[in-house]
A and B are shown apart, each in its own frame.
Chain A
Amino acid sequence: MSSPATLDAHVLDLAWGGVLYWLALGASALFLQARPGLLVRLIFPLGALGALFVAGIGVAGLLLPASSMVLPIGLPDLPFHLRLDALSAFFLVLLGAAAFGVTVHAAGYFRSMAGGPLALLAMWYHLFLAGMAMVLLADDAYAFMVAWEVMALSSYFLVTTDHKIAEIRRAGFLYLLIAHVGAVSLLLAFGVLQGGHGDYTFDTMRAAGVAPFWASAAFLLALFGFGAKAGLVPLHVWLPEAHPAAPSPLSALMSGVMLKTAIYGLLRVTFDLLPMQLGWWGTLALALGLVTALYGVIFAAVQSDMKRLLAWSSIENIGVILAAFGLTLIFRTEGKGELAALTLTALLYHALNHAFFKGLLFVGTGSVLHATGERRMGHLGGLIRSMPWTAWLTLIGALAIAGLPPLNGFVSEWLLLQAFLLTPGLAQPYLNMVIPVAAATVALAAALAAYVMVKFYGVVFLGQPRDPALRQAHEAGWPERLGMLWLGAGCVLLGLFPTQVIQWLEPVVRMLTGQRLPGIGNWLLLTPVSAGRASYAPLVFLAGMAVVVGLTVLWVRRVYHGRVRRSAPWDCGYPEQDARMQDSAEGFGQPIRQIFAVFMRVERETPDPFDRQPRYRGDSRDKVWLLVYQPIADATAWLSRQAGRLQHGRIQWYLVYSFATLIFLLVFAR
Chain B
Amino acid sequence: MSTGILLQAAQTLLAILLAPLLMGWVNQCRAWLQGRSAPSIVQPYRALRKLFHKDAVLAHDASPLFRFAPYMVFASMALAAGIVPTLANDLPFSPAADVIALVGIFALARVFLALAAMDIGTAFGTLGARREMLVSFLAEPALLMVFFTASLISQSTALPVIVATLAHKAFAIHPSLAFAAVAFWMISLAENARIPVDNPTTHLELTMIHEAMVLEYSARHLALIEWATAVKLFTYSALGIALFVPWGIAAQGDVAALPLALAAMVAKLAAGGAALSLLEAVSAKVRLFRVPEFLGTAFLLAVLGMLIHFLLEA
Contact = CB atoms under 8 A, between A and B. Distances in A.
A444 B141 contact: yes
Interface in B122-167: 122-127, 129-130, 133-134, 136-138, 140-141, 144-145, 148, 151-152, 155-158, 161
A78 to B, nearest CB: 49
Nearest to A435: B310
A232 B185 CA distance: 37
B104 A421 contact: no
Given A450-B133, A534-B156, A463 B120 contact: yes
B224 A552 contact: yes
Contacts of B130: 455, 583, 587-588, 591
Interface in A411-430: 414, 417-418, 420-421, 424-425
A571 B118 CA distance: 12
Contact of A399 (B59, B76, B111, B124): B111
B214 to A, nearest CB: 11
Nearest to B114: A454
A152 B156 CA distance: 45
B215 interface: yes
B14 interface: no
B216 interface: yes
Contact of A569 (B111, B127, B216, B299): B216
Contacts of A637: none
Interface residues of A, number: 82
A424 B314 contact: yes
B172 interface: no
Contact of B101 (A424, A458, A536): A536
Contacts of B144: 417, 443
Given A534-B158, A536-B96, A583-B126, A443 B141 contact: yes
A414 B124 CA distance: 34
B55 A563 contact: yes
Interface in B2-23: none
B98 A536 contact: yes
B264 interface: no
Chain A contact surface mostly: helix
B65 A462 contact: yes
Contacts of B129: 454, 458, 583
Interface stretch (A400-408, A486-494, A643-651): A400-408
A534 B100 CA distance: 10
A454 B138 contact: no
Contacts of B57: 564-567, 570
A463 B119 contact: yes
A532 interface: yes
A565 B58 contact: yes
B74 A448 contact: no
A98 to B, nearest CB: 24
B220 interface: yes
A529 to B, nearest CB: 9
A463 B60 CA distance: 12
Interface stretch (A46-54, A107-115, A263-271, A381-389): A381-389
A553 B67 CA distance: 11
A418 B57 CA distance: 45
A453 B129 CA distance: 12
Contacts of A571: 120, 122-125, 215-216
Nearest to A425: B314
Contacts of B157: 418, 421, 533-534
B140 to A, nearest CB: 4
Given A552-B224, A582-B121, 6 more contacts: A417-B148, A424-B152, A447-B140, A533-B155, A544-B96, A569-B60
14 contacts: A399-B111, A417-B148, A451-B137, A454-B111, A457-B115, A458-B129, A541-B97, A541-B101, A545-B75, A565-B56, A568-B60, A572-B215, A577-B122, A594-B292
Interface of A: 381-382, 384-385, 395, 399, 402-405, 410, 414, 417-418, 420-421, 424-425, 432-433, 435-437, 439-440, 443-444, 446-448, 450-451, 453-455, 457-459, 462-464, 525, 531-537, 540-541, 544-545, 548-549, 552-553, 556, 559-561, 563-572, 574, 577, 579, 581-583, 587-588, 591, 594-595
